[in-house]
Amino acid sequence: MISPDDLIALVRNYNPKTNADRVAEAYDFGEQMHDGQFRHSGEPYFTHPVAVAAILTEQRLDDATIITALLHDTIEDTKANYEEVARRFGDEVAMLVDGVTKLTNLQLSSRETKQAENFRKLFMAMSKDLRVILVKLADRLHNMRTIKAMRPEKQAQKARETMDIYAPLAGRMGMQWMREELEDLAFRVLNPEGRQSIIRRFVTLQRETGDVIHRITGDMRLELEKADIEAEVFGRAKKPYSIWRKMQEKDQGFSRLSDIYGFRVITTSEEDAYRALGAIHQRWRAVPGRFKDYISQPKSNGYRSIHTTVSGRDGKRVEVQIRTRQMHDVAETGVAAHWSYRDGVRTENPFAVDPAKWIASLTEQFDAEDDHDEFLEAVKLEMYSDQVFCFTPKGDVIKLPKGATPIDFAYAIHTRIGSSCVGAKVDGIRVPLWTRLRNGQSVDVITAEGQTPQLSWLEIATTGKARTAIRRSLREADRARFVKLGHELARSAFEHVGKKATDKALETAARALRASDVAELLARLGAAEITAHDVVQSVYPELTAGDGEEISPRRAVIGLEPGQSFERAACCQPLPGERIIGITYRGRGVVVHAADCDRLSEFEDQPERWMDVQWHGGTHPAAYGTTLELTIGNDAGVLGRICTLIGEKKANISDLEFVDRKPDFYRLMINVELRDAEQLHSLMLTLEAESDVAAVARFRDKPEERHFPG
């Protein structure tokens, strides 16, 4: 374990003005609080916070961040509390430690809805102080470096979480070195055979070709000296996971990959960076389409560099990055460069972005998302994105993620332009809206009055901003349709009891059913969130007392043609009370899908087969099969209690299948017969509250698992 003196020496290397006494006090306090605690490896637990602090010294971070690293587990795992940390080390450190504690408690790899909510909390914590996530990333890096001491199943869980969340987040923050190491450490756990095969092939390649890196580095230095350019040149083989990913993306074997080596040229000025590019292109042939200038068009996290790929010795392709020393510092530490110290003062790096502005730009679009799944989708799209730069006809630059389309470009300019887009010209040529944009293209958006976003645009758009705006517009359009449908349903229901759906009657119903106004009441009625019976009963309960007879399953759906039959789609198993869509089949009648069923995307180009249907608003019998997926503890009597709970909720079990049996848990599918979505919701809440139920979810087939014949 690093001693306090050695840790202080690491800080003094870049910050001679460090408050050594305060760092030493934090070291002693942390060691005292963790006394008697041990890691899975058997080492004293405090070796971990010290290692995290040491990782952060490599980024030359301020005293508050280093002290936070030493104390980051004290509030969670020891008798220390927020007040004591604040009293000893100040409010700034206490807030940072508390922020890291809250991040540690987030289960980012849990079920989707909870995962989305936890992602929202993660971004909120980042928005308060980005140093919280810097400590958390260093914490995860050290845990991954020492992961072998964990149980195999725990290793796999942490590695997947690292690959899915922490590595992309480090990359999005500009900390590419950390992203690469996190990915490779996770790769070592998730696919050790694949990683070893890459390493073995590297060894074989070096034996066959010699030290290619040394030769090419020497050649580059010689060319730069000839051009009288002062620069440092470094070369390296790419990480095993990076090569593995390229093999998967390009569907090529190792022997066919050409750009497995990377080189960096660090110059003293921006002018020399462009001169170095010229010298390299004069000596080696540039590969078309592999040039990116992030100096003139920086990434949003402050990254600046020139990227090019050239054909080197023996026709081998090599990637070259050219940048100044200040650009290199930002490229290594990303957003963290804002807090970097050198010679006792915070580094005045002109390329380091303001973290507050960066996180604001990152979270702006997410704040507009009301739906958890949409929020999660937007976060992941943003985190995993690489960027392309396109131009408006006036020459303004629009930054977009890789794979963006003219729809994304239009929404990036303004929501109004995106919503009224009818076409686009790319470099003067009319192109379809699904065209993928490339770096440097000029895009001219064509708009028309009266145009509104189409459902198919959700398949075309890639940015969170565009998809959010499209969904909002579609919801508003749906709302107008539902209000109109709700008004007709209310009129019919009131006439059924000899009354009229007057404004006063509807206002009374809105208050009784806790709708904000009549429009919301009618929209909920049209969307089948409430029934027409509920609306009438809220105003005239005495006239609806005898309306509780059950609706026959044969006439449960309204909106069918005379003589048409229907069946529930097996993929989504819609229930009364849920929004539904009908799809017509020749010889089969109508198959009813839940409105959010993934299967519906297959019919977007066949609008003539869609039917606007809804469930009957009356009382339904418990006759609608729904499959639940449960994970329960493997203890005596657990299954019996689960079956009893289901029976108490007036649901009948029609089938039960065990799909996974482990020593400590069972995973099973239970088919239950239910009345409606409300009964399903009540049943799932009851099951989730049972201590022996680890997970419960409504099972729905994915599109690739089941197919309806057309």
Active site residues: 76-77
Nearest by Cα to 185 from 215, 227, 143: 143
* 487 phi/psi in degrees, rounded to 5: -65, -40
676: DSSP letter? -
Would you call 576 helix, strand, or coil by DSSP? Answer: coil
Which amino acid appears at position 63 of this protein?
Answer: D
Q: What is the DSSP string of 190-220?
A: H-HHHHHHHHHHHHHHHHHH--HHHHHHHHH
Q: Scanning the structure block, which residue is given the tokens 């606007």?
A: 612
Nearest by Cα to 243 from 200, 208, 214: 200
> What's the CA gap between 164 and 284, in Å, rounded?
38
How many H-runs (helices) and E-runs (strands) does the chain carry?
Answer: 28, 23
- Contacts for 453 with CB less than 8 Å, ≥ 6 apart: 418, 419, 469, 470, 473, 474
> What's the CA gap between 697 and 693, in Å, rounded?
11
Nearest by Cα to 300 from 247, 384, 343, 358: 358
* 558 phi/psi in degrees, rounded to 5: -100, 140
> What's the CA gap between 67 and 95, in Å, rounded?
12
Nearest by Cα to 610 from 584, 589, 592: 584
Pairing of strands 317-324, 261-267: parallel
The H or E element containing residue 298 is: none
Sign of CA dihedral 262, 268, 274, 276: negative
Sign of CA dihedral 571, 574, 580, 586: positive
Q: How many CA atoms lie within 13 A of 268 on its CB side?
A: 5
